């Protein structure tokens, strides 16, 4: 069974795609496809559909993330039309982080987005996010699942065994770029299990987060339990590419 590496791109907060193109160019040596977040961590960014189109134009495969937080039904239909016009046909639907400005809309849920997208086009490939807890039955209707980021391959394997599903499942792996990044992450996501020993290692050595993430990717690959990994390299994408380019051969 092939093992796919889906690398997450940091979308721009300004109307300039130069940094996006550099990430794609660097990570394309190891990535099978790219996930583009949608106003991630509650900040406005360039449309995930537009960036997914940019990925496709550079010869890659893009997955546009769309959240229910920022759109009503009409806005969602606009996004589906735009995606179809651009040839973007893979999506990850999520609830969305707390916005830094404005309010949530309550018009859509991830479940209703999947149903609406199915009606719009049977050719779209639709994914949903899964926490490391019992999987709701309706999420089994997705074409693929992205499991929540964890810093423990053992915890991810236990969850996978307890939640058998026939669609591809991608385990979430994140690089800790710095001690500050780790502390902010722990504060923003209280239920994430972030080992204090790893934070201390990252504080002492800036490459420790990269090494830990790459080791986790390889452990998950060797387990055979997942279809692949959803890797979030954050600002350390050059280091990640350098480390994994040889190891994943």
Q: What tens digit of pLDDT does each residue of 70-104 get?
A: 899 999 999 999 999 999 999 999 997 665 655 66
Q: Which helix (DSSP H) or strand (DSSP E) does residue 6 occupy?
A: strand 4-8
Chain mean pLDDT for the chain: 92
Q: Torsions phi, psi of 5, nearest 5? A: -110, 115
Confidence of residue 210 (pLDDT cuts 50, 70, 90): very high
Q: Is pLDDT above 80 for 233?
A: yes
Q: What tens digit of pLDDT does each residue of 97-119 get?
A: 665 655 667 789 999 999 999 99
Q: Is pLDDT above 90 for 65?
A: yes
Q: What is the DSSP string of 77-100?
A: HHHHHHHHHHT--EEEEE--PPPS
Q: Cα–Cα distance between 161 and 62 in angstroms, integer?
A: 29
pLDDT (0 to 100) of residue 2 = 87
What is the sign, positive or negative, of the torsion defined by CA atoms of 219, 60, 11, 141? Answer: negative
Q: Is pLDDT above 80 for 132?
A: yes
Q: What tens digit of pLDDT does each residue of 145-197 get?
A: 999 999 999 999 999 999 999 999 999 999 999 999 888 887 777 678 888 89
Contact indicator for 139, 128 with CB cutoff of 8 Å: yes
Q: Cα–Cα distance between 195 and 28 in angstroms, integer?
A: 30
State the pTM of this model: 0.94
pLDDT (0 to 100) of residue 126 = 98
């Amino acid at each position: 069974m092939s093992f796919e590496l889906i690398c997450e791109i940091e979308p721009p907060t300004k109307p300039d795609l130069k940094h996006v193109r550099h990430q794609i160019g660097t990570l394309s040596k190891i990535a099978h496809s790219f996930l583009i977040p949608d106003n991630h961590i509650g900040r406005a960014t360039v449309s995930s559909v537009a960036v997914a189109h940019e990925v496709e134009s550079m010869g890659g495969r893009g997955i546009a993330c769309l959240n229910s937080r920022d759109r009503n039904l009409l806005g969602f239909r606009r996004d589906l039309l735009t995606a179809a016009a651009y040839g973007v046909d893979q999506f990850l639907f999520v609830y969305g982080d707390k916005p830094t400005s404005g309010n949530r809309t309550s018009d859509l849920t991830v479940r209703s987005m999947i149903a609406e997208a199915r009606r719009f086009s049977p050719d779209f490939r639709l994914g949903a996010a899964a926490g490391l807890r019992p999987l709701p039955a309706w999420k089994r209707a997705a074409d693929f699942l992205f499991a929540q980021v964890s810093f423990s391959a053992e915890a991810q394997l236990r969850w996978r065994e307890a939640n058998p599903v026939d669609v591809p499942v991608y385990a979430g792996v994140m690089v800790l770029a710095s001690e500050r990044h780790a502390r902010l992450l722990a504060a923003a996501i209280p239920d994430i299990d972030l080992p204090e020993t790893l934070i201390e290692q990252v504080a002492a050595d800036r490459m420790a987060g990269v090494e830990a993430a790459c080791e986790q990717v390889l452990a998950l690959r060797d387990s055979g339990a997942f279809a692949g990994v959803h890797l979030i390299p954050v600002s350390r994408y050059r280091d990640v590419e350098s480390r994994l380019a040889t190891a994943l051969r």
